[in-house]
Amino acid sequence: MEYIADNIPDISFIDDATIDQILAQMISDYQSKYEEVTGNKRTLAQADPDRLILYAASIQIYQAMQYADTAGKMGLLKYSREDFLDNLGALRGVSRIQAAPATCILQFSIENALTSATPIVAGCRVTSGNDVFFATDEYAEIPAGETSITVTATCTEAGTIGNDLVAGEITTLVNTLPGVSVVNISATEGGSDIESDDDLRDRIYAAANSYSVAGPTGAYEYHTKMADSTIGDVVVDSPTPGVVDVYFIKEDGDIPDEALCEKVTDYLNDRNIRPLTDQVTAKAPTAVNYNVTVTYYIAASKKSAVETIQSNINTAVTVYNNWQTEKIGRDIVPDYLIQKMMEAGAKRVEVTSPVFTIIDDSMVARVENVTITYGGLESD
């Protein structure tokens, strides 16, 4: 189950009142009351001192109304944010997933084998020289007669900052270990920022699914997202009775690696989550690659806005690619690309690729090359 704000009606605790409406109502009330008390009509001109007083008061009143509207909305899932949203989550036993540090595997080596073990202290720090540091998770040692040992290490700073260092990039020891060299033999990954309001809101909405073991589709989706904060879209399939395939992608649209798939599989197979008879495997969807090759034309009547439209067109193509690749099983639909480019100001669009392609629930679209050609001005 997924929380979709567009499906929930908008609410205003102040009937969408504006400051102009508040001022107009105060002026009207003033003039009516003045006539009632004095028997004389009075119209407040723009520079009338009483009108200016009412204007100043209306600003304060409107500000108070905004506070009241916000206070009411913070108790509604659609609008709630930050600490208010955390409190809503607490009512359903859902807490915000905190930032997690990246990890990797380090290999410590010596040039020649020794007759005694070479200790590697727990917390030994290393870096690639970019102000990002990793520390070993536990004590390790290079055994006597051997020249290397591997040990896992965790970034000293939580978040995505430690991700995407390729194997071989970390080579600098911060701690003093004479005669010892270090290198990361795996890429750094797994770092994630603190869960966003939108993602937390989705999980709160879907929290009812957690009351069941991961039998229903919604429950599998919920528990999969609980396994790792970097997980985005999830699709659950049961090709045969008792067999459950869980396909997922990361929040940034990337396809998960084998390590993350194993982590999610292990999480879903916990005896408190997996129904006894289910055989559950978390999998990365198969990538279906496509290219974007388009030529567009702008109406001659919009000649003065060509540069702005060109910028809007480039943004529209990016929006399309994000939409196309953010969901597993979403068909490749070039019509939507044309729609976004037309909305951005194009008069006419010629799409060479992509072509319409049906994508099943074990696949996800992935963009490779993008070629956008401006064809010039055309008569209206």
Burial classification of residue 304, based on how many CB atoms lie within 10 Å of its CB (0-12 exposed, 13-18 middle, 19 or more buried) = exposed
Whether residue 152 is predicted with pLDDT greater than 70 in this model: the reply is yes
Of the pLDDT bands very low, low, confident and very high (cuts 50, 70, 90), residue 215 is low
Overall average pLDDT of the 157-172 stretch: 91
Of the pLDDT bands very low, low, confident and very high (cuts 50, 70, 90), residue 251 is confident
Whether residue 6 is predicted with pLDDT greater than 80 in this model: the reply is no
Give the model's pLDDT for residue 339: 95
Give the model's pLDDT for residue 142: 94
Of the pLDDT bands very low, low, confident and very high (cuts 50, 70, 90), residue 14 is very high
Structure tokens at 13: 């605790």
Whether residue 174 is predicted with pLDDT greater than 80 in this model: the reply is yes
Helix axes 197-205, 217-227, angle to 10 degrees: 150
Q: pLDDT (tens digit, 9 = 90+) per residue, 265-297?
A: 988 888 777 777 788 888 899 999 999 999 999
Q: pLDDT (tens digit, 9 = 90+) per residue, 88-145?
A: 888 888 888 888 899 999 999 999 999 999 999 999 999 998 889 999 999 999 999 9
Give the model's pLDDT for residue 210: 59
Q: pLDDT (tens digit, 9 = 90+) per residue, 334-367?
A: 999 999 999 999 999 999 999 999 999 899 999 9
Whether residue 3 is predicted with pLDDT greater than 50 in this model: the reply is no
Whether residue 13 is predicted with pLDDT greater than 70 in this model: the reply is yes
Give the model's pLDDT for residue 195: 87
Give the model's pLDDT for residue 103: 92
Give the model's pLDDT for residue 2: 46
- Look at 68 and 91; give whichever has higher pLDDT: 68
Picking from 117, 118, 122, 148, the residue whose alpha carbon sits closest to that of residue 136 is: 122
121 in Cβ contact with 175 (< 8 Å): yes
Whether residue 79 is predicted with pLDDT greater than 70 in this model: the reply is yes
What's the per-residue H, E or C state across 259-302? HHHHHHHHHHCCCCCCCCCCEEEEECCEEEEEEEEEEEEEEHHH
Give the model's pLDDT for residue 230: 81
Whether residue 166 is predicted with pLDDT greater than 70 in this model: the reply is yes
Give the model's pLDDT for residue 42: 87
222 in Cβ contact with 209 (< 8 Å): yes
* β-bridge mates for residue 127, sequence order: 133, 172
Overall average pLDDT of the 29-52 stretch: 88
Task: Quote the CA–CA distance of 188 and 129 in Å, as a whole number.
Answer: 14
Overall average pLDDT of the 191-219 stretch: 76
Give the model's pLDDT for residue 1: 39
Which of 55-64, 150-159, 274-283, 293-302 is predicted least confidently?
274-283
Overall average pLDDT of the 57-66 stretch: 93
User: pTM for the whole thing?
Assistant: 0.54
Average predicted confidence (pLDDT) for the chain: 89
Picking from 204, 202, 201, 260, the residue whose alpha carbon sits closest to that of residue 228 is: 260
Whether residue 243 is predicted with pLDDT greater than 70 in this model: the reply is yes
